[in-house]
Amino acid sequence: MQTVSRTIRRQCRPTSLQFSRYSHSLDSQQPKATLPNSEPKTTSFGFKTVPEEIKETLVKNVFDSVASKYDLMNDATSFGVHRLWKDSFVSSLRPGRKGPMKCIDVAGGTGDIALRILDYARENYYDRETTVEVVDINAQMLKEGYRRFKQTMYHNTPQISFHEANAQSLGPEKFKDNTYDLYTIAFGIRNCTSIPDVLKEAYRVLKPGGTFACLEFSRVDNPLLNAFVSMLRAPSSQLTWVFRLYDQYSFTVIPLLGTVLAGDRESYQYLVESIRKFPPQPEFAQMIRDAGFSTGKDVDGGAWTNQWGGIACIHTGVKV
C-alpha cells in the first residue's frame, strides 16, 4: 500500500490524507537560545540575511503558497525547459539498469522525479520492483505529489511512499543508515538552511557504493557565454543595458508571473534570488567531497554535468 501516516488537517475542513512525519517537530520552528554576548548564526534567504532558526519557516511559507501552481510557474518561467532537465537527470542515472533499486527522493514533494524514476526503470528494464520514498519538509507539496500519483499505475503499490521530514535531519529511526541505492534531490537543496547537513544525511542513509545525485540551478560555465556575461557586467561596456534587461526579466517579469499565475509575487522573488546565491559548480563539488563522497574531476562531465551551458547542473557523488 502507498504509505501515508500523518494526517494533514485544514482549519476549514478535515481531510483523510496522511503522511509519515519525522524530524520536523515544533522544536525546529522555535527560536534557539543563544549564549550571552554571542551573535546568532545567520544564513541567506534570497538576498536577505536572516537568523538560521527562522529560514526553515520562511521557506515553508514559500512552498505552502506555491505548491499547487509550482510546475505551472516553472513552465512559464523556463518555457518548459525544466522538464527536459529532469528527464536528462533521471536518464543519466539509469535506474533499474542493475536490477531493482531502493531510492529516496528528497525535497521531491510534487513527485515528478519519483515518477520519472519509476517510469524509466519500467520502460527500459521491465522493472516493477524499484521503489521511491518521496521526502519533503512541506506537507502541501507532498499533498500535491500524492494527488498526482493517484492518477498513475503506481498508486496503492509498494513502489511509492510519501514522508514529511527535514532533509538536514531525516531521523535514523525511520531513515536508517546504509539503506538506499540512490539519493536524488532536484531544485531543492538551495532552499535548505545548511547544505553540509543535507549532504551528511545523504551520505548516512546511502549504502556503500550508493549514488548521490543533485539537479540544481547553477552558474553559466560556457567560456563564450561567460565572456559575454563578463562584458555585459563591465561598467564601461556599451552593452551593460542587456544585462540590466536580463536582471529586469528575472526580478520583475518572473515575480509578475508569480502574481498573475499564482497570486504570489514575494515567493517567486525569493526563488529567483535563491538561484543567484547558490554556490558555483567547483565549490558545490567540494562540499559533496567534504561530506565523504567520491566525485569525478572538477570539470564538466566529471564531478558535474552542465545543462544548457550551466544554467542548471547535475552533480553526482558515490559513497565510499
Confirm or deny that 75 is annotated as ligand binding: no
Q: Is 103 exposed, middle or buried (0-12, 13-18, 19+ CB in 10 A)?
A: buried
Task: Please give the grid coordinates belonging to residue 57.
Answer: 519557516
State pTM to two decimals. 0.78
Confirm or deny that 152 is annotated as ligand binding: no
Instruction: Find the helix packing angle between 139-149 and 52-66, rounded to 10°.
Output: 30
Phi, psi of 51 (to 5 degrees): -60, 140
Q: What is the pLDDT along the chain (320 residues), one digit of tens a residue?
A: 444 444 333 333 333 344 565 433 323 334 444 445 556 787 766 666 768 777 777 777 777 777 777 777 777 667 788 999 999 999 999 999 999 999 999 999 889 999 999 999 999 999 999 999 999 999 988 999 999 999 999 999 999 999 999 999 999 999 999 999 999 999 999 989 899 999 999 999 999 999 999 999 887 755 555 554 454 444 444 444 544 555 566 677 778 877 787 777 887 787 778 888 889 999 999 999 999 999 999 999 999 999 988 888 999 999 99
Q: How many helices (H) and strands (E) does the chain have?
A: 11, 11
Longest dimension (CA), the chain: 63
Confirm or deny that 110 is annotated as ligand binding: yes
Residues 6+ apart with CB under 8 A from 243: 229, 232, 233
Q: Is 35 exposed, middle or buried (0-12, 13-18, 19+ CB in 10 A)?
A: exposed
Q: Give the helix ranges, DSSP H, for the chain.
A: 52-66, 70-78, 81-93, 112-125, 139-149, 195-205, 223-233, 240-248, 254-257, 265-277, 281-290
Confirm or deny that 167 is annotated as ligand binding: yes
